[in-house]
């Protein structure tokens, strides 16, 4: 029993963005084409040659993707490639090296080389074959005419595999060679990405694997049942397949479409770049929280906590004096220590502490007054009078009494501005 | 009238000589008052400071956290100390398993003090008098620092603590309600200062249960710090107590975290807090020794 759908190919015409899914059948069964273009139209019962004749317009470009999984079953690959080539509407062009015909590349050798090269290759899903269909010089189909209007080819005469089959060697007569136009395929694919067709002498050398195209469909048919066996067996099948198609071509000169067949690696299509999203204006959560709670926190009155440290009404007093208070705990402890020294009679130590307190808060009347008392105890009446005067200016109630005591004791300021200030009291 | 005792000079601003009495107080509950008090006491004890911790909260969480059994709390507790005029402080003190830390335990009976003291004369100063008697006595061993764990309300227990304390630490979480509780506490302190001449000074605001991964906590901390430093000065402890389950586990085990998990970040934070507290109190600048020597000379 002959299995059906042993290999799958995909045509991707870059101009029309259409894809044609080709299912290559085994010889003698002409159920080939499944889908045409992007439409849902399903065409059945056509061979590859009929496809090219009826579906593909002349002077158009196509890309045929042969699944690598199918290529690994080389007989199926040979079938697929052989059918394409054996349609006698294609010529093989080795990239950069001219026509395959000039290099005496036989169809079965080429097919076998491609299949062998990719047997066991992992990671590649498709070998893409770019195809350019051109109208032969002797064709009657006008340019742009739908090839569907061309009369269908005559019925295919199926030859048995045992019969002697002319090998599908690409030796087109020179007179029949069309005037090739520069293949636009070469502009699409970089030379480094192209696969070079195998030479008959070294079939496995030039072919390189290609990355699959992202738009290429998954294989629709399972791998062929045939395993990769001897190349001769595969070539036999290829011959059979090609013979099936090549026979009518040889008998039907009206198969006028010619094609350039180049085997290239399909450059991996770039994934469509995501358009950068329009950035939203985000408000940081901390900023939002700050805006929410700032008025609330500012409205809270914490001044009561500090009455022991700074006295009542500290905020207003602080604003009035514009004093940047130093470490309050330090002030408190220093004051306690100074008082202790003074009460215990160590006035020299107390003087140092009071002087430091005055340096820390020069506008504190209490500190000035206590400094004056300590100076008075140490006999420094001149400095004590100055401190009392300053304390009085700052509003200390006891400074007047101390100044009066100094006057009664007969103290006289020696010189300077303090003399006048003292006697004005 | 000022008096001189071996512990230093006694006056209105230093009723217990140079011994600071620090109250942990905030009207808002759940701000880690007890946790901070217990762990700070343990950290100070590890730093060779003799610490007396007084549990004034009827919930008696500090008592439980130190692993003190209820038997002690029945016989000797703060309730007796506050309600019984002849009950000296040293009778209420029980030792704990933490080195250098003693405790005045509490029980649920302590909540009756509010009723019992209503009709008493000088009810706000009961605790202060007991502490003053304790420190004026030449027969008792003195503590370097006394810590008062206050209840989460501004009742007579808190008023007694604020009247007796020389300093207060306000634990506060970085939540708005905790800040409101702190402002209410300020009103109470100002009232005590005006009415009965309380001289308690703010030693610092302790930020507790801080979660640096929470935007709310970070924002509120910055707002609080900016506000306090701008209007009043550097009153926020640089040590921040972060939220940690290790502390809760240690409390359930009846040990402070500095002893149960000494290598944990929470224990390290409390040790840093102890250093900062001692630094702010001036105990590390040799304040006590010169004063004691000076007082001895005066006698």
Residues A228 and A359 in one domain: no
Q: What is the CATH number of the domain that holds B116?
A: 3.40.50.300
CB contact under 8 A, A306 and B186: yes
Task: Out of A263, A282, A299, pick the residue that ends a domain.
Answer: A263
Neighbours of B265 (CB within 10 A): 13
A95 and A195 in a common domain = yes
Span of A163-177, B126-140, B207-221 with lowest mean pLDDT: A163-177
Contact B224 A297 (CB under 8 A): yes
Based on the fold, state whether residues A259 and A340 are members of the same structural domain. no
pLDDT tops 60 at residue B22:
yes
Query: Is residue B299 included in any domain, yes or no?
Result: no
Domain boundary pick from A248, A263, A278: A263
Q: Give the per-residue pLDDT at B83.
A: 79
* A204 in a structural domain: yes
Q: What is the pLDDT of residue B236?
A: 92
Q: Is residue B293 part of a domain?
A: no
Interface of A with B in 330-369 (CB under 8 A): 330, 332-333, 335-337, 339-341, 343-346
Q: Which residue does chain B place closest to A314, by CA atoms?
A: B232
Q: Where are the beta strands (DSSP E) in A32-154?
A: 33-35, 60-67, 91-94, 98-99, 126-135
What is the C-alpha separation between B245 and B140, in angstroms, rounded?
A: 39
Mean pLDDT of A53-67: 50
Q: Which pLDDT band, with edges at 50, 70 and 90, does B171 fall under?
A: very high
* Residue B204: predicted pLDDT: 92
Query: In this structure, is residue B51 part of a structural domain?
Result: yes
Cα angle, residue B146 at apex, residues B143 and B152 outer, rounded to 5° = 165
Q: What integer is the mean pLDDT of A309-318?
A: 58
Q: Which of B13, B11, B6, B49 is nearest to B284 (CA)?
A: B49
Residues of A in Cβ contact (< 8 Å) with B11: 339
Do A339 and A239 belong together in one domain?
no
- pLDDT confidence tier of residue B11, bands split at 50, 70 and 90: low
Average pLDDT over residues A114-119: 52
Examine the domain organization and report whether A203 and A336 are in the same domain.
Answer: no
Q: Which residue has the higher pLDDT, B200 or A114?
A: B200
Of A88-92, A376-380, B130-134, the range with the lowest mean pLDDT is A88-92
**What is the per-residue DSSP string for A374-401?**
HHHHTT-HHHHHHHHHHHHHTT-TTHHH
A186 has pLDDT over 90: no
Check whether residue A258 and residue A333 sit in a common domain: no
Please give the structure tokens belonging to residue B17.
């000589």
Using CB atoms and an 8 Å cut-off, which of residues 187-246 of chain B contact chain A?
187-191, 193-194, 198-203, 215-216, 218-220, 222-224, 227-228, 231-235
Please give the tally of structural domains in chain A. 2
pLDDT by residue (tens digit) across B65-95?
A: 888 876 666 666 777 778 777 788 888 888 8
Q: Which of A16-20, A101-105, B95-99 has the lowest mean pLDDT?
A: A16-20
Task: Indicate the residue among A263, A278, A313 that finishes a domain.
Answer: A263
Domain identity same for A356 and A246: no
**Which residue range forms the structural domain that includes residue B114?**
3-285
**Statement: residue B191 has pLDDT above 60:** yes
A358, part of any domain? yes
Q: What is the DSSP letter of B183?
A: H
Residue A123 counted as domain residue: yes
Q: How far apart are CA A182 and CA A356, in angstroms?
A: 98
Per DSSP (E only), the strands in A307-367 are none
Query: What pLDDT does B169 receive?
Result: 94
Q: What's the pLDDT tens digit per position in A229-274?
A: 333 333 333 333 333 333 333 333 333 334 444 444 444 455 666 6
Q: How much is the pLDDT for B45?
A: 92
Question: Residue A309: pLDDT band by 50, 70, 90 thresholds?
Answer: confident
A289/B198 touch (CB, cutoff 8 Å), yes or no: no
> Do B231 and A294 count as a contact with CB atoms less than 8 A apart?
no
pLDDT at A51: 54
Q: Which residues in B lie closer than 8 A to residue A282 (C-beta atoms)?
A: none
Q: Residue B112 pLDDT > 50, yes or no? A: yes
Q: How many CB pairs under 8 A join A and B?
A: 127
Q: pLDDT band for position A216 (50/70/90)?
A: very low
CATH of the domain at A356: 1.25.40.10
Q: Do residues A348 and A245 share a domain? A: no
Q: Which pair of structure tokens corresponds to residue B242?
A: 């972060």
Residue A273 lies in a domain: no
Judged by average pLDDT, the poorest of A83-97, A157-171, B190-204 is A157-171
User: Residue A190 pLDDT more than 90?
Assistant: no
Residue A147 lies in a domain: yes
Mean pLDDT of chain B: 82
Q: Are A343 and A194 within one domain?
A: no
Domain range enclosing A45: 7-263
What is the end-to-end Cα distance of chain A in Å, rounded?
135
Is B295 part of any domain? no
Residue A110 lies in a domain: yes
In 3D, which of A237, A241, A204 has the Cα closest to residue A113? A204
Same domain, A217 and A339: no
> Comparing B92 with A52, which gets the higher pLDDT?
B92
A419 in any annotated domain? yes
Segment A72-89, tens digit of pLDDT: 444 454 555 565 555 554
B267-292 per-position pLDDT tens digit:
999 999 999 998 888 754 333 444 44
Distance from CA of A316 to the nearest CA of B (A): 10
Query: Residue B95: which residues within 8 A CB-CB, separation 6 or more?
Result: B102, B103
Q: Which residues contact A151 (CB under 8 A, 6 or more apart)?
A: A254
| Per-residue model confidence (pLDDT) at position B10 | 54
Question: How many distinct structural domains can be found in chain B?
Answer: 1
Q: Do A333 and B287 touch (CB under 8 A)?
A: yes
Give Cα separations from A178 to A135, A153, A246, A254, A380 (angstroms). Answer: 8, 21, 19, 15, 126
Q: Give ipTM to 2 decimals.
A: 0.81
Residue B223 counted as domain residue: yes
Q: Give me the pLDDT at residue A48, please.
A: 53
The reply to whether A416 falls in a domain is yes
The alpha-helical segments, DSSP class H, found in chain B are 33-46, 61-65, 70-75, 78-83, 89-92, 113-116, 126-136, 156-164, 176-195, 215-231, 245-252, 257-260, 265-281, 288-298
Does the beta carbon of A297 lie under 8 angstroms from any beta carbon of chain B?
yes
Q: Which alpha helices (H) appear in B28-155, and where do they start and end?
A: 33-46, 61-65, 70-75, 78-83, 89-92, 113-116, 126-136
The reported pTM is 0.47
If asked whether residues A78 and A225 sit together in one domain, one would say yes
Residue with token string 């080795």: A94
Task: Check residues A64 and A335 and name the one with the higher pLDDT.
Answer: A335
Q: Which residues of A touch B170 (CB under 8 A)?
A: 305
Q: How far apart are CA B296 and CA B299, in angstroms?
A: 5
* pLDDT at A52 (0 to 100): 54
Q: Are A310 and B232 inside 8 Å of each other by CB? A: yes
Comparing B74 with A321, the larger pLDDT belongs to B74
The pLDDT value recorded for residue A414 is: 55
Q: Token digits for A46? A: 């056509």
Taking residues B206-228, report their average pLDDT.
Answer: 90
């Amino acid at each position: 029993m002959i299995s059906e759908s042993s290999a799958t190919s995909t045509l991707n015409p870059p101009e029309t963005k259409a894809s044609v899914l080709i299912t290559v059948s085994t010889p003698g069964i002409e159920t080939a084409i499944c889908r045409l273009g992007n439409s849902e139209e399903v065409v059945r019962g056509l061979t590859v040659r009929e496809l090219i004749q009826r579906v593909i317009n002349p002077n158009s470009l196509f890309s045929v993707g042969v699944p690598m999984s199918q290529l690994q079953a080389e007989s199926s690959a040979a079938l697929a490639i052989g059918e394409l080539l054996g349609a006698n509407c294609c010529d093989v062009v080795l990239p950069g090296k001219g026509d395959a015909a000039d290099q005496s590349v036989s169809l079965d050798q080429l097919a076998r080389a491609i299949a062998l090269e990719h047997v066991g290759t992992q990671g590649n899903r498709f070998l893409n074959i770019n195809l350019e269909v051109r109208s032969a010089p002797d064709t009657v189909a006008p340019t742009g005419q739908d090839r569907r209007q061309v009369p269908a080819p005559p019925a295919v005469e199926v030859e048995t595999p045992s019969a002697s089959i002319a090998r599908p060697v690409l030796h087109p007569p020179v007179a029949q060679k069309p005037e090739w136009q520069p293949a636009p395929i070469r502009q699409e694919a970089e030379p480094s990405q192209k696969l070079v067709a195998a030479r008959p002498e070294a079939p496995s050398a030039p072919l390189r694997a290609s990355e699959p195209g992202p738009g290429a469909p998954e294989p629709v048919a399972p791998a062929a049942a045939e395993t990769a066996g001897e190349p001769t067996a595969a070539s036999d099948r290829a011959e059979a397949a090609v013979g099936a198609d090549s026979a009518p071509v040889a008998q039907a000169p009206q198969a006028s479409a010619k094609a350039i067949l180049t085997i290239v690696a399909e450059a991996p299509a770039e994934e469509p770049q995501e358009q950068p999203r329009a950035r939203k204006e985000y408000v940081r959560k901390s900023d939002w929280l700050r805006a929410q709670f700032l008025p609330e926190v500012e409205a809270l009155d914490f001044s009561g906590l500090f009455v022991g440290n700074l006295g009542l009404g500290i905020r207003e007093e602080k604003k009035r004096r514009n004093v940047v208070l130093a470490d309050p705990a330090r002030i408190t402890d220093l004051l306690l220590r100074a008082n202790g020294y003074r009460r215990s009679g160590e006035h020299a130590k107390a003087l140092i502490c009071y002087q430091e307190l005055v340096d820390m808060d020069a506008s504190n009347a209490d500190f000035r007054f206590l400094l004056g008392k300590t100076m008075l105890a140490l006999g420094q009446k001149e400095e004590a009078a100055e401190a009392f005067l300053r304390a009085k200016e700052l509003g200390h109630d006891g400074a007047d009494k101390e100044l009066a005591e100094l006057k009664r004791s007969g103290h006289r300021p020696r010189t300077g501005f303090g003399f006048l200030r003292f006697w004005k009291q | 009238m000022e008096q001189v005792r071996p512990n230093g000079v006694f006056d209105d601003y230093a009723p217990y000589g140079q011994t600071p009495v620090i109250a942990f107080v905030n009207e808002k509950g759940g701000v880690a008052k007890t946790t901070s008090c217990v762990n700070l006491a343990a950290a100070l004890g590890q730093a060779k400071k003799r610490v007396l911790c007084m549990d004034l909260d009827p919930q008696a969480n500090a008592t439980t956290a130190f692993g003190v059994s209820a038997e002690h709390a029945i016989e000797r507790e703060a309730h007796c100390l506050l309600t019984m005029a002849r009950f000296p402080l040293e009778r209420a003190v029980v030792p704990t398993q933490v080195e250098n830390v003693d405790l005045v335990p509490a029980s649920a009976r302590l909540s009756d003090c509010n009723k019992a003291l209503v009709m008493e004369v000088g009810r706000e100063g009961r605790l202060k008098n007991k502490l003053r008697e304790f420190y004026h006595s030449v027969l008792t061993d003195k503590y370097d620092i006394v810590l008062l764990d206050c209840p989460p309300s501004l009742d007579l227990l808190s008023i007694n603590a604020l009247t007796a304390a020389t300093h207060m630490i306000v634990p506060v979480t970085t939540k708005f309600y905790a800040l409101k509780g702190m402002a209410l506490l300020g009103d109470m302190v100002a009232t005590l200062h005006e009415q009965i001449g309380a001289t308690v000074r703010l030693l610092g605001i302790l930020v507790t249960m801080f979660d640096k991964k929470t935007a709310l906590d970070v924002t509120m901390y910055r707002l609080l710090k900016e506000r306090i430093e701008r209007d009043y000065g550097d009153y926020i402890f640089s040590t921040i107590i972060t939220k940690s389950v290790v502390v809760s586990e240690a409390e359930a085990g009846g040990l402070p975290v500095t002893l149960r998990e000494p290598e944990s970040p929470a224990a390290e934070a409390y040790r840093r807090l102890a250093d900062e507290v001692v630094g702010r109190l001036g105990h590390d600048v040799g304040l006590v020794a010169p004063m004691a020597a000076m007082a001895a000379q005066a006698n």
